[in-house]
Homo-oligomer: A and B are copies of this chain.
Amino acid sequence: MVRTRNRRGEGGKLRADSLAGARELVEQAGDPEAVTLRAVARQVGISAPSIYPHFADRAAIMDAIVDDAFADFNGAISAAIEQASGPVAQLRAGCAAYLRFAADRPNRYRLLFMRDPRATGDPARDLVPAVGKELALGPAPAIRTQSFAALVKSLQGCIEAGQSASTDPYLDSAAIWVALHGYATLHVLLPFFPWPDTDALLDRLVYGLARIAA
């Protein structure tokens, strides 16, 4: 609330503060619509017009926090994959981290895959056109497709190790993603539904859809 003016040359700090404020708003409200320019300003403790030297418009703020959420998400998943040893364990660890992220930080998960990409500021950075086969499998995936690329890579690792009978890792990765997303989404939207045990479901999804023998 109370904020002391930045010193000269340090005006850029307000950008980081604004992003932090926007992040807090998402966390508190659970609704990306709550991230209004004025709400961010209130959260940070500045006047609304002060945002403009740092963001072109409201869409630019949304875009930045979505990227921020993706970075967080990617970090959680790649950390889980790295900690596991062996291709099958890595695949499962990545998928488990996916569900854990959605369960632990539901309001950030909303930003990732529960918003219409058309609502984003810069359409060119949207998930829709960026997730084409070539890009997702390429060497330097964009931040919004990085984890999907990691999933494909994990499944390819299982195939190379002779532990998966999959003949199309891209297709089967998409199937796994769809199932994870359905579980994550409905968990977020309907938290009081008597859901089955996460680990048991995860086993069926991963091993079944990746064609891995139990």
Contact = CB atoms under 8 A, between A and B. Distances in A.
B196 A174 contact: yes
A7 to B, nearest CB: 42
Contacts of A175: 196, 201, 204
A55 B33 CA distance: 25
Interface in A102-147: 113-114, 116-117, 127-129, 131-133
Question: Which of A31, A113, A175, A180 has the largest count of B CB atoms less than 10 A from its CB?
Answer: A175
Interface residues of A, number: 38
A201 B209 CA distance: 10
Taking chain A's interface residues, is the majority helix, strand, or loop, or is none over half, making it mixed? Answer: helix
Nearest to A211: B204
Interface in A179-214: 179-183, 185-186, 189-196, 201, 204-205, 208-209
A171 to B, nearest CB: 5
Given A182-B181, A183-B178, A128 B194 contact: no
A116 B186 CA distance: 10
Contacts of A186: 113, 177-178, 181
A111 B195 CA distance: 22
A162 B159 CA distance: 35
B174 A193 contact: yes
Contacts of A127: 190
Nearest to A33: B33
Contacts of A181: 182, 185-186
A22 B171 CA distance: 38
Contacts of A201: 175, 178
Shortest 5 CB-CB contacts between residues of A and residues of B: A182-B182, A178-B182, A181-B182, A171-B196, A178-B183
